[in-house]
Structure 1
Amino acid sequence: MSSGFVIPGTELRERFSRSSGPGGQGVNTADSRVELSWDVAGSPSVPEWLRDRLLARLGRRLAGGVLTVAVSTQRAQLANRAEARERLASLLRAASSPPPPRRRPTRPSRGSVERRLSAKKQRSQTKKGRRLRSDE
């Protein structure tokens, strides 16, 4: 099963607003801030098995099953649009990746246990040698 899927542009919603970021006087007139939204729960382009994984991993970022990315780092709207799409893609790549394999529990070897204990004894002797003697 491949986790690669394509989101058609018709499923993406873009909203533009005034940015509070860089831009000088132009910041008051240009709608350069971009909010890119995609309905994860209702998208027909995502396989069902992958939708469950996406909804579980993106749970805190979703509002009503919709993932929204807001970008206002650039002065130009076109640059913010490109960055918003890239952020959305990286979020979805991370959320759709398969879980890591489960760790098989292991025990420390006898040699490593002995080395650890001997190092602790040596450290204890070093500290014991630094103590003030009460009989002097």
Structure 2
Amino acid sequence: MTLRINHRYAIEEAELDLSYIAARGPGGQNVNKVATAAQLRFDLFGSPSLPDEVKARAIPIAGSRLTQDGIIVLTADRFRTQLANRRDAIERLLAILAEAAVRPTIRRATKPSKAAKARRVEAKAKRGTIKAGRGRVRED
């Protein structure tokens, strides 16, 4: 099955390695018996679906969830069922990759026009005269 990141990129579900571990938190007596927390592993560096530029932008976004081998590890244990935790882990991975898929806009340096410079200087001069009029009034 294909998982869509955005209109441009997608990854195959076969690239994900999902396992289930014992969860902490809510679950009552089941918390000790059933492995409901989902642990998702995604090999970012080895993924054939993503271009290098997206992989490079995903590194700082993944942060501490990225191992030195380039594997993103996400643990989802917010919910009481395996299915809900699996969905949560996949959604979180897709959110990381969707953020990485957005190209940053490049800022181009611009110069103010002559008219804008003149308006700025004029406003500064006007403000200066207002401030110069403040202060103690001298009695002659």
Whether the TM-score (by the shorter chain) exceeds 0.5 is yes
Aligned residue in 1 for 2:77: 72
Aligned to 1:84: 89
- Could you state the TM-score of these two structures normalised by the residue count of structure 1? 0.73
> Quick check: 1:55–1:65 contact (8 Å CA) kept in 2?
no
RMSD: 2.6
Q: Deviations over 1:55-81 (max 9, x none)?
A: 321224321111122222223332121
Q: Which residue of 2 aligns with 1:46?
A: 49
1:5 is aligned to 10
Q: What are the Cα deviations for residues 74-116 of structure 1, in whole angstroms up to 9, with x where unaligned? A: 233321211111111121122133343x333321011211222
Unaligned runs of 5+ residues in structure 2 are: 1-6
Listed one character per residue, the Cα deviations across residues 3-41 of structure 1 (whole Å, up to 9, x for unaligned) are 42332x332112323333444554444433222111122
Percent identical among aligned pairs is 35
**Alignment of 1:108 onto 2:112:** yes
CA contact (8 A) 1:12 1:36 kept: yes
Q: Tell whether the 8 Å contact from 1:73 to 1:80 is kept in structure 2 after alignment.
A: yes
1:17 to 2:26 alignment: no
Q: Partner letter of residue 96 of structure 1?
A: A
Aligned residue pairs, count: 128
Q: Distance in 1 between matches of 2:40 and 2:122?
A: 60
Corresponding residue SS for 2:23 = coil
Scaled by the length of structure 2, the TM-score of the pair is 0.71
Contact 1:3 / 1:97 at 8 angstroms: preserved in 2? no
* Contact 2:22-2:31 at 8 Å conserved across structures: yes
* Structure 2 residue 130 is the aligned partner of structure 1 residue 126: yes
CA, structure 1 residues 113+22, in 2 after alignment: closer, same or farther (shift >3 Å)?
farther
| Matched letter for residue 57 of structure 1 | R
Q: Is the 8 A contact 1:16 1:32 kept in 2?
A: yes
- Give the whole-Å Cα distance in 2 for the aligned partners of 1:71 and 1:92: 17
